[in-house]
Amino acid sequence: MMKSDSFNDLPELLASIHGPDDVKAISSSKLPQLAQEIRDVLISRLAVTGGHLGPNLGVVELSIALHRVFHSPTDKFTFDVSHQGYVHKMLTGRAKDIHTIRTYQGLNGFLLRSESEHDCYGAGHAGTAVSAALGMASARDLREEDSHVVAVAGDAAFTCGPTLEALNNIAETTKKFIVVLNDNEWSIDKNVGALAKHFNSLQTHPTYSSVRATAADFVEKLAGSGARKLAHKVERGAKNLILPNVLFEKFGLRYFGPIDGHDVELLTSTFQYLKEQDEPVILHIITEKGKGYKPALDNPGKFHGLGAYKIDDGSTQKATSPTYSEIFGRTLTDFAKEDKAITAITAAMPGGTKLDIFKEELPTHYFDVGIAEEHAALFACGHATQGLKPFLAIYSTFMQRAYDMIIHDIALQKLPVRLCMDRAGLSGDDGPTHHGLFDIGYLRHIPDLIHMQPKDEDEFVDMLWTMANYNEGPSAIRYPRGAGTGATPKAKPQKLTIGEAEVLSEGQDVCLIGLGHLFEMAEETKQQLEAQGYSVTLINPRWIKPLDATTILRYAQQAKVVCTFEDHVLMNGFGASIIELLHDNQLNRPVERIGWPDAFIEHGKVPKLREIHGLTTEEAVRKITAHL
C-alpha cells in the first residue's frame, strides 16, 4: 500500500483536487492561487525526498491548463522523459501522496502506467513522447474515436533522434494531434547544438514580446470570423519575423507561438482553440525552469534533479569523499593535459558525468552532442579512426541506446572507443528507468571488447589510465553512482594487465569473487565465514571480459563452493559468466550468486532494496554454508 498524508496537510485548493474534474471546477480567478500552492508543496516536500524540482516548477501552469481543457484519461498526455510529471500526478488525485515520491512503495519519480490510469505512457529516457503519442493518435483513428492526444516535449527532446523521426511521420499518420514544445533552454544541463541555438534565439529576439502580445490578442478574439484571420496573422508574424525557415511547417505541423507558458488563462484559451483544429499543430511555449524558487532559477542544472535540500537557500549536504563521477572528471582532465589525443564526449550530461571539469579546462577537446547517444557513439568512432582517444561518458541506462553502434561500428571495426558508464548498478530513488543493471549482459558477448569494474577509487584511476593506453580495440568501464570506499588514488596511476584478477586471500573451503563496489560485501562475507572456521579465497576479478580464467579455475577447483557478487541482474550477468567458465572446463562446483533478480527493480533507498532482494552479507553466508 502506498503511504499517504491527510488532505488536511495540503493547502486549501490543492486539498480539494481528487481528480481532473476538480481542476475544471475551480474558478479562473483562483488559478494563480492553485499554481502557488502547487509550487509551495513541491518546494517543501521535495526538500525532504529530493527529486526533479526545477522541471516541475516550470510546468505548473501548463499542467493546470491541460487538465482544464482536456479530459484525462480519455484524452492522453505524454510527457517526454516524464520527470516533469509531478504536477500532473498532483492534479490526478495523488497530491496527498506527493511526500512519498521516490521513496520505497511511494510515488514513482516518473510517470508509471501501473501507478494511475492517468499515466498513459511511462518514461524515463528522452525522445519518446512524440513517437508514443503519435502511435496513440493512430490507434485512436483506427478505432474511429474522437479523443485528443497531446505530446509535451522540452526543447532538448528535439535534439533527440526519435523525436525528429516522429515529426517526419506526423502529417502522413493523423490529422488531429497536438505537440507542445516546452522551451526553457535546459535538459539536464544547458542545451547544445543548432536547434537549441535556434530556440534560444526566439526567446532573445527583439520581436518576441510583440509577438507574444499579438498571441494574447488573438486568444481574446477567438469567437467569430475574426479569430481565423488573426490566427493566420499571428502565424505569419511568427514565421516571418522569428521562424524564417519555417522549421515545423516543413514537417506538416501548423505552428503557434511562442506564447507565455506561465499564463494559465492564455494557455487554456489556446488549447481550447487548438483542440478544434483538424490538422497537426505545435504550440511553442516559453517557460522558466525553476520558476517560483530563486535557488532553482539561479542553478537550473543542480535543481534538475537532486537529493534533499534546505528550503531557505537550496543548499545540499556535501559528500565526505569525492564521487566516482568527480574522480572521473578530474582524472580524465589531468590525463588529457598530458596526452593531447584524449577527447571527452557526452550526451547532454556534463554535470552528471562531471565532464564539466574537463570542459572548463580543456574546452577544445570536450564535446557535448545533446541527447543523442547514437550520434555520440558514432562521433567517437570518427575520432578513433583519426588517431584520437575518445572517452564516451554516458550513464549505463542511456548507453543502451547506442547498442547497435557499439556492435556494428565500434567493436566490428575494433575502434579504440572508451565507454565510460556512470551510474552502473542500482540508481536507487530514480527507479527502473535509471538503474544501470544491464550493461554486463549487453556488452559481455561482444567480440574484441574488454570490460572492467574497479573495487575502489584507487583502482578506478588505474583502470582509466589502462584505458587511455589501450589502443587495440574498444574498452568499457562501469562504476556506480556516488562515492566509494574513500580509497585515495596513488600519485601515479598504474597500468593494469588486461585479464588479470587480484587475489586477496587463499582458502580451501569457499571461493568468493566480488565484482566492483560489491567487493566490500564479499569482504564482509569472508569475515563472517572465517569467524565460523571456514577457509576462504577472496578474489577481486577486475575484468568482466576477459575473465582471468586461469586464476578463477585454480581457486574454484580447490573450493567446495563458489559465490559471486555483482550489482547487476543475475540473468546473463557476471555470475553467469563464472558458471559458463566452470561448465566449459568440466569443473563441477556449486556456484551461488548475489545479484539482482530477473525483474525491473522498483525505486527506493539502495540498502532497503538490497535487503528486500537478498543482496546482503547474511544472504550470501546462508547460501554458502548450505553447501558446507
Domains belonging to the chain, first-starting first, are 7-70+84-108+293-316 (3.40.50.970), 126-287 (3.40.50.970), 324-478 (3.40.50.970), 502-625 (3.40.50.920)
Contacts of 526 (CB under 8 A, 6+ apart): 505, 512, 536, 538
Positive or negative torsion for Cα 156, 158, 159, 165: positive
Pick the residue with more confidence: 249 or 239? 249
Q: 352, 482 in Cβ contact below 8 A?
A: no
Check whether 245 has a pLDDT greater than 60.
no
Q: What is the pLDDT of residue 198?
A: 54
Place 509 in a pLDDT band, splitting at 50, 70 and 90: very high
Place 233 in a pLDDT band, splitting at 50, 70 and 90: very low
Could you write out the DSSP letters of every residue in 460-524?
HHHHHHHHHT--SS-EEEE--SSB-S-PPPPSS--PPPTT--EEEE--SSEEEEE-GGGHHHHHH
62 vs 65: CA distance, rounded Å: 5
Check whether 236 has a pLDDT greater than 80.
no
From the CB of residue 171, how many other CB atoms can be counted at a distance below 10 Å?
15
Could you write out the DSSP letters of every residue in 269-286?
HHHHHHTT-SSEEEEEEE
The reply to whether omega before 258 is within 30° of 0 (cis) is yes
Q: Is the pTM of this model over 0.85?
A: yes
Cell of 440: 554486463
Place 390 in a pLDDT band, splitting at 50, 70 and 90: very high
State the chain's mean pLDDT as an integer. 90
Q: What is the mean pLDDT of residues 70-91?
A: 96
Contacts of 297 (CB under 8 A, 6+ apart): 288, 289, 290, 291
Phi, psi dihedral angles at 11 (to 5 degrees): -60, 165
Q: What is the mean pLDDT of residues 200-207?
A: 48
Phi-psi sector, 381: left (phi>0), alpha (psi -120 to 50), beta? alpha
Q: What is the mean pLDDT of residues 364-392?
A: 97
608 vs 130: CA distance, rounded Å: 36
Phi-psi sector, 423: left (phi>0), alpha (psi -120 to 50), beta? left
CA trace torsion 135, 136, 141, 143 (10° rounding): 120
Q: What is the mean pLDDT of residues 107-113?
A: 94
Q: pLDDT digits over 410-458, tens only?
A: 999 999 999 999 999 999 899 999 999 999 999 999 999 999 999 999 9
Q: Which residue has the cell 551461488?
A: 592
Q: Among the options 373, 457, 459, 566, which is catalytic?
A: 373
Q: What is the pLDDT of residue 158?
A: 85
Q: What is the pLDDT of residue 316?
A: 87
Q: pLDDT digits over 300-346, tens only?
A: 888 888 889 999 999 988 777 899 999 999 999 999 999 999 999 99
Q: Of 138-147, 188-197, 363-372, where does mean pLDDT reach its minimum?
A: 188-197
Strands 502-505 and 536-540: antiparallel
Q: pLDDT digits over 606-625, tens only?
A: 999 999 999 999 999 999 99
Three-state secondary structure of 87-100: HHHHHHHHHHHHHH
Check whether 8 has a pLDDT greater than 50.
no
Q: Which of 115, 129, 3 is nearest to 59 (CA)?
A: 129
Burial environment of residue 202 by CB neighbours within 10 A (0 to 12, 13 to 18, 19 or more):
buried
Please give the angle made by the CA atoms of 379, 384 and 385, to the nearest 5 degrees.
Answer: 100
Q: What is the pLDDT of residue 250?
A: 85
Cell of 589: 562446483
Q: Among the options 45, 68, 140, 289, which is catalytic?
A: 289
Q: Where are the beta strands (DSSP E) in 303-356?
A: 342-346
Q: Which residues pair with 565 in a beta bridge?
A: 514, 594
Check whether 360 has a pLDDT greater than 50.
yes
Phi-psi sector, 252: left (phi>0), alpha (psi -120 to 50), beta? left
> Starting from the edge strand earliest in sequence, which strands make up the sheet with 450-452, in order?
366-368, 342-346, 389-395, 418-422, 475-478, 450-452, 543-545
Cell of 161: 533522434
Contacts of 113 (CB under 8 A, 6+ apart): 119, 120, 121, 122
Question: Residue 598 gets which letter from DSSP?
Answer: S
- Verify whether residue 401 is a known catalytic residue: yes
Check whether 239 has a pLDDT greater than 50.
no
Q: Which residues pair with 395 in a beta bridge?
A: 422
575 vs 565: CA distance, rounded Å: 7
**Amino acid residing at 199:** F
Please report how the helices 519-531 and 617-625 are oriented relative to each other, as an axis angle in degrees rounded to 10: 50
Q: What is the pLDDT of residue 194?
A: 57
Q: Among the options 176, 401, 545, 589, which is catalytic?
A: 401
61 vs 271: CA distance, rounded Å: 12
Q: What is the pLDDT of residue 196?
A: 53
State whether residue 545 is helix, strand or coil: strand
Q: Of 52-56, 202-206, 273-277, 555-559, where does mean pLDDT reach its minimum?
A: 202-206
Q: What is the pLDDT of residue 530?
A: 98
